[in-house]
Amino acid sequence: MRAFDYRRAGDRAEALSIARTETARYLGGGTNLVDLMRQNIEAPAALVDVSRLPGLIEDTPTGGLMIGAAVRNSVVAAHPAVRARYPMLSRAILAGASAQIRNMATVGGNILQRTRCAYFYDAAGSHCNKREPGAGCDAIEGFNRYHAIFGASEHCIATHPSDMCVALAALGATVHLAGAGGERNVPLLDLHRLPGDHPEIETILRPGELITAIELAPSEAAANSGYRKVRDRSSYAFALVSVAAGLGLAAGKIEDVRIAMGGVAAKPWRAARAEQVLRGQVPTRERFREAADTELAAAKAFDGNEFKVELAKRTIVAMLSELAGTEA
Amino acid sequence: MAIVINGTEYPLPDDPRISLLDLLRERLGLTGTKLGCNQGGCGACTVIIDGTRVLSCLTLAVQADGREVWTIEGLAAKDGQLHPLQQAFIEHDGLQCGYCTPGQICSAIAMVEELRRGDPSYVTADLTEGPMGATRHEIRERMSGNLCRCGAHNGIVEAIEEIMAGGAA
Amino acid sequence: MSKLQNAIVGGVRTAMSYVPSSWLPGGKPDPLIERRVTLGTQQSRLDGPDKVRGSSRFAAEVPMERLLYAACVHSTIARGRISEIDVSSAEAAPGVVLVMTHRNAPKMALPPPIGLANLKAAGNNILPVMQDPEIRWNGQAVAVVLAETQEQADHAASLVKASYESVAARTRFEDAKADARTPDSLMIERNRLKKGDVQAAFRRAVRSVDATYRTPWHNHNPIEPNSATIAWNGDRLIVHDATQMLNGTAGSLAKVFGIKETQVHVSSPFVGGGFGGKALWDYQILGAAAAKLAGRPVRIVLSRAGMHRLIGGRSPTEQRVALAADADGKLMGLIHHGFSVKPPHSVCDEAFTLTSRSLYASASFDVVQHTLDLDVLANTFMRAPGEAVGTFAIECAMDELAHGLGMDPIELRRRNVADCDPVTGTPHSQSDLMLAYDLGAKRFGWNRRAATPRSRKDNEWLLGMGCATGSFPYARMPGMSARITIDGDGQATVSSAAHEMGVGTATVQRQHAADRLGLPLERVTVRIGDTSLPFGSFAGGSSQTASLGAAINAASGKLASELLRLAGNDTPLAGLKVGEIEFANGGLRKIDDQSRHESFVSILKRAARREVSVSGESGAPLEMLKFSMHSRSAIFCELRVSEVTGEVRVDRLVGCFDCGRILNPKTAASQFRGGMIMGIGMALTEETLFDERTGRIMSASIADYHVPVHLDVPDIDVLWTDIPDPRTPMGARGIGEIGITGVAAAIANAAFNATGKRVRELPLTPDKFLFA
Ligand SMILES: Cc1cc2nc3c(=O)[nH]c(=O)nc-3n(C[C@H](O)[C@H](O)[C@H](O)COP(=O)(O)OP(=O)(O)OC[C@H]3O[C@@H](n4cnc5c(N)ncnc54)[C@H](O)[C@@H]3O)c2cc1C
Ligand code: SF4
Ligand code: FES
Ligand code: FES
C-alpha cells in the first residue's frame, strides 16, 4: 500500500472540497478499498473519510424511504421499515459477506465495491483490462465460474459482486449524488456501466462525485419480496447467481413484478423481459418458467459458467413461486 | 486524536496505513487479536468497537479515532476471572489450536447482543418478528464470518448456547 | 524410497515373522491399559485458559528489539530465469533496510528432505533457495524486502521490478501423463501390487464396477499464517516458528547455513493449526538469510497469497477403481490405479492406493500408482495424505458396487472386510471395523435409509443417507525422547520437543505421565515446543502420541531403576529388582505388597538430592512390521440436495472410530470432529484453482479457497469402540488424521442416495447436481 493522506470530512461540503483538490478517494467502511489498496490495485494519494457524515433512514413525503450513504449495511438490514416494506433489501444485505463486514460497510461503499475476479485481484501476476487497459483479460479463457453471462464484452467478463445492489435494482432505487457541479439523481440501474471497450470505467460517476443517499419509492411488490442467493459455500461466499424479486398480486393476477439478478453481469441485472412476460398474468410455475426462459435467452456463457443459465432460471422460478405461494 | 482500547487511551499512529490490527499487535503488544488473512476473509481479527463486532484488519487505525475498542484482553475481569463465554469455551472444548478463538469469542459476545436486540439474519424466517430464538441454525449463520480450520465449531456453538441460556454475556 | 529400502524393509519383515510377538516392543500389552486412572477421563485442555484470554504467544508475536519486517516478491512465470531485477526504487522507499535477491543472498545449501530415515530433516521443497536466477515454479520468491514496518516492507515489495526469460513450463496434468513415473515404493510399501489373476476375476464376476474419480489440489489454510520471528546471535540462529517439526527444522537450517545443529534454537510452543503445512519451507530460510545480511532480527509472516505461493498443498489425483464381485458380494478382483503430482523436488507420495490393499479381502489385486512431474511448488502432506483422497475413490466404488448388487452397503463391507492383511496375511494388532459400523449405524439410525435413490423428499430438498469406511495406518516414530525429572517435593516434569497444534499434546501426556508415575494430575507438568528440550520427532502421520508415549514409558523404566539405586538399602524397597516394583502413590512400591512403599520425596531426601532426572527414547517401531496396524472408522452422513439449485447441505454426520483406547474423550472428540469437518470441506467446497496455462494458483486467498463455515457444519456425533491395541503404548493409536478419511465418500454416497446422480469429481458444488 502506498502512503496517503487521511482526512475525515465533517460535513458534505468539506468532503466535496477536499475530494476536489486532490487525487482523493472517498472512504466508507474501507472493507473493499483498504483491501484493494493493500493489493496495489488502488493507490489514491488521499482518503476522504465520509463514513461519519450524518446517515439517517427516513420516510419520504411520498411514502418511500431515504437511506443515507453513510448508513452501515447492518443498520439498513435491521431497520423496521426496511424489514416490513422492503424485505428483499434486508435479505439481500444479510446474504452478503459476514456480520462483521456488514457492520463496517456503508451503503455508498457497497454500491461502489469492485469485482472479485481473481485475475483482477492478482495485480502482480495476471492480465486484466480493468486494472490495466489493453493488458488483456485472463478470465475469458481461464477460471470464469463467477463471471458474467449478460452484458460482457471481449475485453472484460467480470461481475459486480454486490448483493445489496441486486435488491436496489429490483426496487428501482434512485441514487442521490453531489459533486462539484451540484446535486443530481440517477436511477441505480444506470449507475453501473457494462464493460464495453472500457472495463476500467465502471460507473457514470464524475470525478469527486459523492453518493449521498439512496431513495426507495413506495411499492406494493416490495412488501411481498425476497432474495435468494446460490453460492458454493452456505454462507460468507459471493453469489454464483442471486435473485431479488417482488410480486404484487391483484385479483389473482400479477399487477406488479420486480426481478433482478446478481452474479450474472457487471451490474445488477434487472430482468425487464421476464417482468414483461409476467405483468397481468396469472401466477403459475409455467408462466414463471416462461418468463425466466425469455430473460435468459440473451445469456451468453463461458466454459466455466454455463451452468448459470439454468441455475438462474430455476432460482427465478423458485423465488417467484415462493412469493406467489405456489408449490415450489 | 486518540483511541480507547480496553479502557485505556492511546494516541493514533502517524502513518494512516496502519490498520487497527497492526496497531494492536505490532505497536501496543496486544497480540490476542489475531491476524489470519489481512483481507476480511477469516474473522480472526474481530474486535468490538462501540458495541459492534468489526474486522480490525480492514479498519484503518485512524478510522477508530475517538471510538471505544474492546479486544480479547479486555474481556476477563480485573481480578483475572474469565468472562463466562471464555469459561464456556474451555468447558465445551470450543477450541483446538486457539488461533481463531479470540475472534470467535469477541464475535460471539457482540452476536448475542444482536440476537437479543432482534436483528435478523439471512436465515431468519420472518423478518417482522421481534427477537428470534437462538436456534443453532441462527447461531451458525451469524458466526459464519469466523472461520475455524481446526473444526471446533460444535463446541463453539454449544458454548454460545450455554451463556445465552445462562443470561450471561 | 528406493529398491534398496524395499529390500531392507522386506528383509526385516521376513526376519520378524520368526520372532515371537512377546519379544517385540509392545509385545506385552502396556500395563497402563488395565491400570488407568486419569487416562480415559475427560480433561479440559491445559492451554485453554491462556488461549481464550489471547495470552498464548504464537510465532509472529514474540517481541524483539530492532525488529525488521519482511515482505516477499514472487515470480509470475513458472519456468525460466530472471533476466533483470530492478530493486532501486524499493531500496529507496521509506523505511527499507534491505532488498535481498539471488544477487546478494548468502550462500546456502539445499534443505535436506524429510524422510523416515532422518528426523533432523524437514525440507519439503528440495530446491536451491534464492541461489541463482532460475525460476522453477510460478510464485517462487525472487526478492525479500526488509523494512522498519510491515506497511513499508509491503509497499517496497510492490516496487521491485523483475523481468523474466520464460521457457515452456510443464503445467498440465493431462499432458504430463505421457511421462508419468512409477515409483518403486510408497512410504514403506511396495508400489506395484499384483496378486492373483485380476483379468480372470473380472471375466467371471457377477457384478463389477469400473470408474474414475478425481480430486483437486487442496491447501491446508490454517488460520494462523506460516510465520517466524528470527534472530542471529553471533553464529547462533534463533527461530520462533510455527512448526510441526522442531528438530527437523533446526537440523535442516543448520545444514542450509553450514552451522552445527546445536547452534540452531527453534521454539514453537503453539502452532495455530498445522495439518501438514507447518514444516520447513523457503520462508524460514529466506527470513534467516535476510536477518543475517541485515544484522537485525526479522519477522516474516506470509500473506495468504504468499502461503499459496510458498507452502505446497495436496496433489490432485485421478484414480481408477474397478471392483469385481461374485453373487454374494465377495470381492474377486480389485484394481486401483491412478496419478498424482510429485515433482522430483517433492518428498511426498500422495499414497492413495494404500487403503485399497489393506482393507478388503479381495481374491486378486492389481494396484499401482504413477506420479507426474510438473513445474510446480512441491506438493506435500496434508491431513491424511493418501488416505483422504484414496478412501474417496475406493469407498465410492464400494457404494457403487453395493448399489449394483442391490445389497446394503454395510453388508457389502461386512462380507469383505479383511481379518488380517489381505496381501501378506500379517495379523492385525487389533481391528474391529464392523463393530464400529454396528455402533455407528445404531446411533445414526441407518435403518431409516431408503435403499432406492431419490425416494425421500422435503419440499425442494432431496434427502439421502450414505456411509463409508475411513482408514489410517498406525505409526510410531523412533528417536523421540522425553526427560522425566522428579524434584524434592515429588513433582514430576516431563519434557520433550513435541508439538502443540491444537491436538492436546501436553494435556494428554500429563494424564499419561500421571498414571505412569502413580501421581495425581496436578503434580505433573509437561513442557514441550522447544528444541532446548529432549529431541522430538515430528507431529505427523498421527504418530506423536504413540511416539512420545513410548519415550515417556522408556524414561519411566529408567527412573524406576535410578530411584531404586538412590534408595539404597535403608528403604522398604531394599533388595527389590526393577521388575518387582511399580510406581504408586507418589513413589515406588513392591508389586503385590502395598506396605513396601517409599515416596519420591523420601528417597530424594535421604539421598540428599534436589532432583532426579532421566531420559528415555521411543525405540524402533518393530510392531509396525510384525502387525498390520490400522485405525478404521465408519462414517455416516445424512444430507439434502436442492432440486432447484443443486446445493448440498449436510444435516448430520456420525463417525464411529476403531482407534484403540481413547485417552481423553474431550480432546479426542474434538480431533475426530475437526478431521470430519475438513472432510466436509473436501467433499463440498475446497478446491485450489491452479491455472494450467500459467501454473499460477488463482484461489490465493481465504475468501476464494472455501473452507467450511459454521453454517456448513452440523452437529457431529462421534463415538468409538475403545478397544485397546495390545501392541501400542497405552493401547492407543493415533487419531489426528483418520477423521477426514471416508467423509468425502460418505457425503458423495449420501448425495447419490438423495439424487440418483453419482458425482465422482470433488468438490460437490451445486453445478454438479443441477441436472441430477
Ligand atoms: C471477505 C469478504 C466477503 C464479502 N462478501 C460479500 C458478499 O457476499 N456480498 C456482497 O455484496 N459483498 C461482499 N463483500 C463486499 C462488501 O460488501 C463491500 O466491501 C462493502 O459493501 C463495501 O463498503 P465499504 O463502505 O466498506 O466501502 P469502501 O471500501 O469504503 O469503499 C468502496 C468504494 O466506494 C467508494 N465510496 C465509499 N463511499 C462513497 C460515497 N459515499 N460516495 C462515493 N464513493 C464512495 C470508495 O471510494 C471505494 O471506491 C465482501 C467483502 C469481503 C472482504
Ligand atoms: S474479467 Fe474483467 S476484471 Fe477479470 S481479468 Fe478480465 S478484464 Fe480483468
Ligand atoms: S485477519 Fe481480518 S478477517 Fe482475516
Ligand atoms: S481452533 Fe484452530 S482455527 Fe479454530
Q: Sketch out chain C's domains with CATH numbers.
A: 1-30+383-475+621-772 (3.30.365.10), 478-620 (3.30.365.10)
In a domain, A173, yes or no: no
Instruction: Compute the distance from residue A147 Cα to the ligand 2 centre, in Å.
Output: 9
The response to whether residue A101 sits with its C-beta less than 6 Å from ligand 1 reads: yes
User: Closest-CA residue in chain B for A86?
Assistant: B127
In a domain, A222, yes or no: no
pLDDT band at C287 (very low <50, low <70, confident <90, very high): very high
Containing structural domain, residue A276: 235-324
Any chain C CB within 8 A of the CB of B99?
Answer: yes
Longest pairwise C-alpha distance within chain B: 47
pLDDT in the model for residue C18 = 45
Tell me which residue has cell 419440499.
C459
- Those residues of chain A whose CB sits closer than 8 Å to some CB in chain B are 1, 3-6, 8, 27, 29-31, 34-35, 38, 47, 49, 51, 74, 77-78, 83-84, 87, 90-91, 94-95, 97-101, 103-104, 229, 234-236
Sheet holding B68-70, edge to edge: B8-11, B2-5, B68-70, B46-49, B52-55
Q: Tell me what pLDDT residue B128 has.
A: 85
Ligand 3 in contact with B35 (CB < 6 A)? yes
The answer to whether B151 contacts chain C (CB < 8 Å) is yes
Q: Answer whether B2-74 and B84-166 agree in fold.
A: no
Chains that touch A (3 or more CB pairs under 8 A): B, C
Domain B84-166 fold is DNA polymerase; domain 1 (1.10.150)
- Could you tell me which of C71, C127, C124 has the C-alpha nearest to residue C100? C71
Cβ–Cβ gap C49/B82 under 8 Å: yes
CATH number of the domain where residue A254 is located: 3.30.390.50
The pLDDT value given to residue C4: 41
Q: How far is the CA of C753 from the centre of ligand 3 (A)?
A: 38
Residue type, A19: A
User: Residue C540: its pLDDT value, please?
Assistant: 86
pLDDT at C119: 86
Note the pLDDT tens digit of each residue in C127-158.
Answer: 999 999 999 999 999 999 999 999 999 999 99
pLDDT greater than 60 at residue C11: no
Contact between C710 and B139 using a beta-carbon 8 Å cutoff:
yes
> Which ligand is located closest to the Cα atom of residue C674?
4
Q: Which architecture does CATH list for B2-74?
A: Roll (3.10)
- Name subunits touching C (3+ CB pairs < 8 A): A, B
Q: Which of C138, C698, C747 to mutate to test the interface with A (most CBs of A within 10 A)?
A: C698
Q: How far is CA C667 from CA A153, B36, B92, C273, C553, in A?
A: 54, 24, 10, 15, 22
Query: Which of the ligands is closest to the CA of residue A115?
Result: 2
Task: Provide the pLDDT confidence category of residue B167 given band limits of 50, 70 and 90.
Answer: low
Mean pLDDT across C314-337: 98
Distance from CA of A176 to the nearest CA of C (A): 32
CA distance C83 to C165: 6
Exposed/middle/buried for residue B8 (C-beta within 10 Å: 0-12, 13-18, 19+):
exposed
- Residue A29 Cα to ligand 3 middle (Å): 15
Q: In this model, does residue C386 exceed pLDDT 70?
A: yes
Where residue C1 falls among pLDDT bands split at 50, 70, 90? very low
The three-state secondary structure class of A188 is helix
Q: Is the pLDDT of residue C751 over 50?
A: yes
Asked if the structure places residue A306 within a domain, the reply is: yes
Whether A278 is in a domain gets the answer: yes
Q: Is the pLDDT of residue B77 over 80?
A: yes
Say if A260 falls within a structural domain: yes
Q: Name the closest ligand to CA B42.
A: 3
pLDDT at C250 over 90: yes
Of C134, C174, C737, C761, which residue is the catalytic one?
C737
Q: Alpha-carbon distance A110 to C118, whole Å?
A: 54
- Widest distance between CA atoms in chain A: 62
Residue A27 located in a structural domain: yes
Q: Which residue of B has its CA nearest to A163?
A: B122
- Classify residue C737 by its DSSP letter: T
Q: How far is CA C350 from CA C218, C340, C372, in A?
A: 12, 7, 11
CA distance B111 to chain A (A): 8
- Return the amino acid letter for C351: A
- Rounded to whole angstroms, the Cα distance separating B97 from C228 reads 17
Q: How many CB atoms lie within 10 A of CB A182?
A: 7
Closest by CA to C744, choosing from C304, C443, C378, C317, is C317
To test ligand 2's pocket by mutation, which of A41, A113, A137 has the most ligand atoms within 8 angstroms of CB?
A137
Which of A1, A121, A233, A288 should one mutate to test binding to chain C, selecting the residue with the greatest count of C CBs within 10 A?
Answer: A233
Residues of B in contact with A3 (CB under 8 A): 15, 17
Across the interface, whether the CB atoms of C701 and B39 are under 8 A apart is answered yes
Residues of chain A with pLDDT under 50: 328
pLDDT, one tens digit per residue, over C221-236 is 999 999 999 999 999 9
User: Can you give the pLDDT at residue C583?
Assistant: 97
Known active-site residue C737: yes
Question: Per-residue b/e over A94-122, b at no fewer than 16 CB within 10 Å?
Answer: bbbbbbbbbbbbbbbbbbbbbbbbbbbbb
- The CATH number of the domain holding residue A13 is 3.30.43
**What are the pLDDT digits (tens) for C71-86?**
999 999 999 999 999 9
**What residue segments make up the domains of chain B, in order of their start?**
2-74, 84-166
A 10 A CB-CB count for A268 gives 30
The distance of C269 to chain B (nearest Cα, Å) reads 11
**Chain A residues in contact with B40 (beta carbon < 8 A):** 31, 35, 97, 101
Integer Cα distance of A261 and A168 in angstroms: 11
Overall average pLDDT of the C585-600 stretch: 95
H or E segment at C544? helix C544-567
Beta-carbon separation of A235 and B39 below 8 A: no
Which residue on chain C is closest to B75 by alpha carbon?
A: C53
Residues A35, B39: C-beta atoms closer than 8 Å: yes
Task: State pLDDT tens for residues A28-75.
Answer: 999 999 999 999 999 999 999 999 999 899 999 999 999 999 999 999
